[in-house]
Amino acid sequence: IIVLHGTLKIYRMETLLWHLTRGNALVFIIILGIGGSFQNGFHVTVISSPSPYIWSFINSSWIGRYEETPPPQTVKLLWSAIVSLYAVGGLLGSMSVRCIAGRFGRKRAMIWNNVVNIVAAVIMFTSRGANSFEMILIARFLFGFNAGLGVNIHAIYLGESSPKKIRGMVTLTSATFLSIGKLSGQFVGLREILGREDSWNILLCVSTCFSVVQLLTLPFFPEAPRYLLIEKGNAEACKKALQSLWGRGEYKLEMTEMVVEQAAIKGETSKTLLELLRDRSVRWQLITMVVVYGCIQFSGITAISVFSFDIFKEAGIPLDKIRYVTLGVGVSEVLTSITCGLLIESVGRRALLWGGFGAMSAIMILITITLNLKDYSFWIPYSTVGLIFLFVIFYGGGPAGVLPSLTHEIFIQSCRPAAFVFTGILRWLGFSVLGLVFPFLIELLKSVSFVLFACMGLLASFYIFFYLPETKGKTLLEISEEFKNITLCENPLSVDKTLETRL
């Protein structure tokens, strides 16, 4: 059995590589990733390393300008603004995805988004020479806008460019590049690399090099095939795009599916956010996004990513070792995300989601116990570190890996841009709220705060197990029909007419 299982895994990997290398798909995925979700992951983690140097820069800039030492509360407020303006920019970037992606298309939207990143990098790089902390504020806002817009367009572009049989694996790469971005931010922030006082402004601009690469290379790749056929009605351009990405072929099955979806929406234009929220036919999809995104934000992963230093300090890890332990957590998240990509098409979305959330909930309970018992033995703090590694592994192999695919699959073409606006608002609001609340929460409740995270993970696991339909191997219209058939107390939540799914 073990030999047969290993043989199947090797065969599946060879089939996957064959699909990715027939055309330009593999290079396309990499180019799209380094200018997409990679940017968000990088800026989430990189800001923690130069924080003491930025505090010092704010002090010296204030003294040079006003010839007096700034009040400690003023410096703290400015630092909080530098951190939070990234989230504000991300929120606005997410809210603009429907307008920008609809007007310029997926490819041109990504290209212009790189220009925003380059402008932000120029402002950040020159802020130190100009002795201006206001320039840091502007740059952080623009970096946030770039990340918020880029993450959403990245996921949409991938989903609309991938064939059904490997759609989950392809869209999952956006989560993989997010993890790689987080790891890169932690790595270049080490003191041995760029985490020094004389190079903090360079450190915060490193990821822009990848934006420049995408800006120069993405014009040579095609527009998203689904966008070309369903929204633009250009079947010939759609076929050429599929052949460019996935190799020679007629792609009749893929194009037939797109034609069916185009007929089903009857030429309906892309919905606005308000129209989406008022549409009862997608009510269960919206509820699913609220539950899953909300529980991810409050499952503890954001707290571990942003406040890992404080958590490991609370666990009793020596201060000079914390930076390297955090780097190890980033490596485990990347490896797990890659593994999830090999499993998602065989295991399915539901099992990875409810199993991942359930395991994360159990691990949070164990972390709470070990944090309370850390003084009883020397090995207990290290068991806490091990549990955090396990938590990140189940997160990367479950919710983080499946979510990009799920968000794309449960909404049809006319609803998808507005749906990504909605999920972007959920993501960035949750990030902002937790960033403000968690420092006070851990100070007030100490390790007991992790019990709240465990409850959120358990809630998501139960909801997914009992209500979320499997989306693996189904057309987007078939998935839409399954959501309409969900009942609550034997009564369907949606009473609208179902879409016709036959050609």
208-243 per-position pLDDT tens digit: 999 999 999 999 999 999 999 988 888 899 999 999
Percent of the chain past pLDDT 70, that is, above it, reads 88
Check if the beta carbon of residue 203 is closer than 8 Å to that of residue 220. Answer: no
DSSP element (H, E) containing 492: strand 491-492
Contacts of 357 (CB under 8 A, 6+ apart): 295, 299, 398, 399, 457, 458, 460, 461, 464
pLDDT at 2 over 50: no
Q: What is the pTM of this model?
A: 0.83
Residue closest to 394 by CA, chosen among 329, 315, 327: 329
Check if the beta carbon of residue 128 is closer than 8 Å to that of residue 197. Answer: no
Alpha helix stretches (DSSP H) within 164-272 = 167-188, 200-203, 208-217, 225-226, 235-246, 252-265
For residue 478, CA distances in Å to 120, 351, 409 come to: 43, 19, 10
Give tens-digit pLDDT for 457-492.
999 999 999 888 888 878 878 888 888 888 765 555
pLDDT at 241: 92
Residue 499: band (very low, low, confident or very high) from pLDDT cuts 50, 70, 90: very low
Check if the beta carbon of residue 32 is closer than 8 Å to that of residue 110. Answer: yes
The pair of structure tokens assigned to 41 is 């992951």
Q: Average per-residue pLDDT in the chain?
A: 83
Return the higher-pLDDT residue of 219 and 304: 219
Return the higher-pLDDT residue of 11 and 164: 164
Distance, in Å, from the CA atom of 99 to the CA atom of 270, rounded to the nearest integer, reads 10
